[in-house]
Structure 1
């Protein structure tokens, strides 16, 4: 039963991903049912420059637009941009870091007033970010560690250490000291590296025996990671639990486990949330026990507001963090949570409309 449920949910997600695979610079992305339409609170004051006139141009340069999290994030970005009345261009490198650097150059050359750089590698992005700053373009970074090489860019990020700790505290309740565990992650991606630092501490403090680390961060992370998990688990049959701190890795872990007989009791702990993730967590016999979560729609909107405040000279901080919550399988089932709308209604703290707000900004809430 577990295999068919996981395959059906991931199959639907794959069809959505195929439909979106062609989206690139300037093309409107088709949002899935987990994205949703936000409500807009009217501004109560006149906007300052440059938002007091039409024609403000902003670009988002993203490392990849695939996966539930990134689709929701872009949905929030688009809706907040529309509420602000700005012209938004979308550059999607589709997992190609060199292409992202090239697209950042294209965004600069296009004459935009502000740029959001979402995920990617410091080595390929620092030069372009500094070029944008030198050209007088305001830059907001999301989940790229470039504070040292580009300190004038405002940094935005999830509270990844908190996200990992919330989930690993739950894992520590379920997994005994000395138990064999598996790990699915990838080095070099800022939020995953921050979660990794927490994982390493918990492995040491809880005395878990990490038997493997696997996973691949690509434009099809779930699909590419699944066979790696299958091979790792086949070689380490004593594993009791797996931590996979990115929902595409978590999905790949579930699919990989489905291919190995005798893994029905392996517990899986993840990160991020979407309607597809909720369906996987609440499915009959699901292994996915807990996840650390924010609402990517709300974060996409908040990063756009942060950039707008910075462009208007009203941002008082150089780093803006977005706090997560813990979502467990038991809680989802007990509260009959079936989708993101249900989750938002049950957990209003996911709505971070008070972050980077101002009386002149028409804030989008989800």
Structure 2
């Protein structure tokens, strides 16, 4: 009995030691694994504090942008397209231009093509709601971001970009009134059916009421081949009113109209008529600088800036940021007496002489600088 008890005690002791050793090893292993896990993964607080900006910006790279234009006539449109392409490429995207040759049916078809081809964003240039509303709604329903410029499109989910058309008209018309002493005969070159033109017409009607001694002796305008058509029609009006003083000035609601009118007046040798326009391009600026040209002033927004702001607004939407339903672009007044007489300049250099030109930072966010740097 005694011998058996000693053996039993020895076995019991051995078993206890084995259990203690096993528990010690288990705790050591668990502690080691726990430490490794804590080292490999950040805490929940650290993870939530980690910046997500890089991943947000990465998602914006390689975006496909469609620019659907009602017309792409003249140097203003060319510089606007240049601004769009420049900003999209800086953001690492690609842009495709769909020109519609001033055909609204074709523009609607181009919009449908852009939707069906799976573009990430669509920029609309001019156009009318009657032609674009259905397509715009379809694009929004598919999650495509849409921004229109100078159109009357009012669709939920579509942001509208526009120039301050009434201000631009006011600037030129008030200067015309000042230069003529509030009296005289004028010609208006304008065309209906375009949202910016309709807004400019509001200011023109107010101008007529304010200055009853300034008489409109002729009014015309054609958006198809506008420069050549205006030149021909202005030539006919000058034949009808051949004497100095019969026409005091021309107010042109578009730079393409101003170019045509100015060329007709200059060819006729009429130095008694001044031209006031709206919009500005390199070609326009050269004409305004020419001391022999009747075109002496224009109110405008830098066309490249228009394109840049439209693209920036699109990328804000692509990033999920809120933007205003309507965005109004800033404009300036440019007259010959502001410009150098010893050299010709282009619109890139215009900022040296006209405050506010070509320096718009509208909708230019800090993260966009980073996105540009990455590309």
The question of whether the paired residues in 2 share the 8 Å contact of 1:299 and 1:352 is answered with no
C-alpha distance in 2, partners of 1:351/1:315? 25
Q: Which residue of 2 aligns with 1:239?
A: 247
2:348 to 330, 333, 341: 341
C-alpha distance in 1, partners of 2:227/2:279? 14
2:217 to 211, 214, 230: 211
The question of whether the paired residues in 2 share the 8 Å contact of 1:214 and 1:232 is answered with no
The question of whether the paired residues in 1 share the 8 Å contact of 2:351 and 2:359 is answered with no
The question of whether the paired residues in 1 share the 8 Å contact of 2:299 and 2:332 is answered with yes
2:171 to 166, 171, 185: 166
The question of whether the paired residues in 2 share the 8 Å contact of 1:59 and 1:89 is answered with yes
Per-residue CA deviation, residues 21-59 of structure 1 (Å, 9 max, x unaligned), is: xxxxxxxxxxxxxxxxxxxxxxxx936648525442111
Please state which structure has a larger fraction of its residues in helix. Answer: 2
TM-score relative to the length of structure 2: 0.79
C-alpha distance in 1, partners of 2:268/2:329? 37
Per-residue CA deviation, residues 49-84 of structure 1 (Å, 9 max, x unaligned), is: 485254421111011122111100100100100011
Q: 1:179 to 1:83 in 2, by over 3 A?
A: same
C-alpha distance in 2, partners of 1:68/1:55? 28
The question of whether the paired residues in 2 share the 8 Å contact of 1:182 and 1:242 is answered with yes
Structure 1 runs of 4+ aligned residues shifted over 4 Å read: 47-51, 334-337
Q: 1:240 to 1:353 in 2, by over 3 A?
A: closer
Write out aligned runs for 1:213-362 (5 A): 213-218=219-224, 220-237=225-242, 238-260=246-268, 263-333=270-340, 338-347=345-354, 349-362=356-369
Q: 1:246 to 1:53 in 2, by over 3 A?
A: closer
TM-score relative to the length of structure 1: 0.81
RMSD: 2.1
The question of whether the paired residues in 2 share the 8 Å contact of 1:239 and 1:266 is answered with yes
Q: Which residue of 2 aligns with 1:132?
A: 139
Q: CA deviation at 1:111?
A: 0.4
List gaps (5 residues or longer) in structure 2.
1-51
| Secondary structure of residue in 1 paired with 2:152 | coil
Q: Which residue of 2 aligns with 1:184?
A: 189
Q: Which residue of 2 aligns with 1:20?
A: none
Q: CA deviation at 1:275?
A: 1.9
Q: Which structure exhibits the higher relative contact order, with contacts defined as CA atoms closer than 8 Å and separated by 6 or more residues? A: 1
The question of whether the paired residues in 2 share the 8 Å contact of 1:118 and 1:141 is answered with yes
List gaps (5 residues or longer) in structure 1.
1-44
Q: Which residue of 1 aligns with 2:75?
A: 68
| Secondary structure of residue in 2 paired with 1:61 | strand
C-alpha distance in 1, partners of 2:60/2:253? 42
Indicate the structure (1 or 2) with the bigger Cα radius of gyration.
2
C-alpha distance in 2, partners of 1:74/1:93? 14
